[in-house]
Amino acid sequence: MTPVSFLGLVLCRRLAVEHQDILRKVKDFRIQSAICNLEADREVVEGNVAAFIQCLGLASQDDSAEHALEIFNSLVRERVPGALQHSLGRLGLRYQTVASMSCVFLLRPFDTINAYLHGERQFRSIVGEVVGSWTLGLATIPLAVAGVLYIAANRPAQRLGCNAFTALLLSKHTVLMILVFGSWYVCNVSIERARKRTTWIALCAGIVVVLTVATAYVYLHPSLQRVQRPSIGGLSERLQDGGGGQAAGRDAAQEADGHAAEPRVESA
């Protein structure tokens, strides 16, 4: 299992490189530095973005286009990292993605159910098979993948070879596999013992709970590196203020068309 998972570690390092590259580009995003397929269209595109920011009420009509573009840059750097984390997960893969790859283990209990229906197995066998297989597919393997992704994110651009870094990476990976699959092995042993003696049920349940809580913590816990929110005058609050933003957008659009803004009556 360890050699195969080490091959997965090598592949995950490529994923980590792409993931960190995306986050770095978003962190340093500037629309002025973005690549434009047709350079002659850059002025038109940037003008539309500036007009969009002004229509949202995030910049006034008196502000320069460059100022509006800087507000747009700050908006991207503030909002996109959270959207990426929601889409890709904190480690580069979401729990749903990893669990779907290991869902084949969820089908293993059906063989035991078939044997039970033919009178060849007891009902306790079904319970034990469900607990063991589902713990493997929904907790153990996702936890192992999360650990591999975490290890792979350590200097992913560093080339592997006969050096100290590769040896350290391999040792971390081996310890991870021993801990994760060792706990799963102990869980299976306790399940087998629990079928015969109920005193083992508590140990089995405890191991399952620990694996489940650890998996939930790894995938659901927010990132330790919080997104730095730039101070640009309450940008998030102004975007979330649907009524005010829409009204400001209408006024800006009317002013852009050469019409006076209609007076608004505030309701009590």
Any idea how long the chain is?
268
How far is it, in rounded angstroms, from Cα 95 to Cα 142? 7
What is the structure's pLDDT at 69?
A: 93
What is the structure's pLDDT at 48?
A: 93
What is the structure's pLDDT at 237?
A: 54
What is the structure's pLDDT at 241?
A: 54
Answer whether 45's CB lies under 8 Å from 36's CB.
Answer: yes
Helix H, strand E, coil C: the string for 88-134 is HCCCCCCHHHHHHHCHHHHHCHHHHHHHHHCCCCCHHHHHHHHHHHH
How far is it, in rounded angstroms, from Cα 79 to Cα 29? 12
Answer whether 37's CB lies under 8 Å from 31's CB.
Answer: no
**Structure tokens belonging to residue 114:** 């078939």
Hey, is 171 helix, strand or coil? Answer: helix
What is the structure's pLDDT at 85?
A: 81
**Structure tokens belonging to residue 78:** 């503030």
Half-sphere exposure of 152 (CA within 13 A, CB side): 25
Going by the DSSP 8-state scheme, the letter that residue 261 receives in this structure is P
Distance of CA 13 to the CA centre of its chain: 16
Residue found by looking up tokens 């066998």 in the block: 125
Answer whether 139's CB lies under 8 Å from 187's CB.
Answer: no
Tens of pLDDT along 233-260? 445 455 555 444 444 444 544 444 444 3
Low-confidence ranges of the chain (pLDDT < 70): 1-3, 222-268
What is the structure's pLDDT at 239?
A: 52
Answer whether 122's CB lies under 8 Å from 116's CB.
Answer: yes
pTM for this entry? 0.64
Query: Residue 227: is it exposed, middle or buried by C-beta count within 10 angstroms (0-12/13-18/19+)?
Result: middle
> Rounded to whole angstroms, what are the CA distances from 240 to 57, 69, 218, 243?
12, 20, 30, 9
**Structure tokens belonging to residue 141:** 């393997």
Answer whether 227's CB lies under 8 Å from 81's CB.
Answer: yes
How far is it, in rounded angstroms, from Cα 225 to Cα 196? 48
**Structure tokens belonging to residue 244:** 């005010």
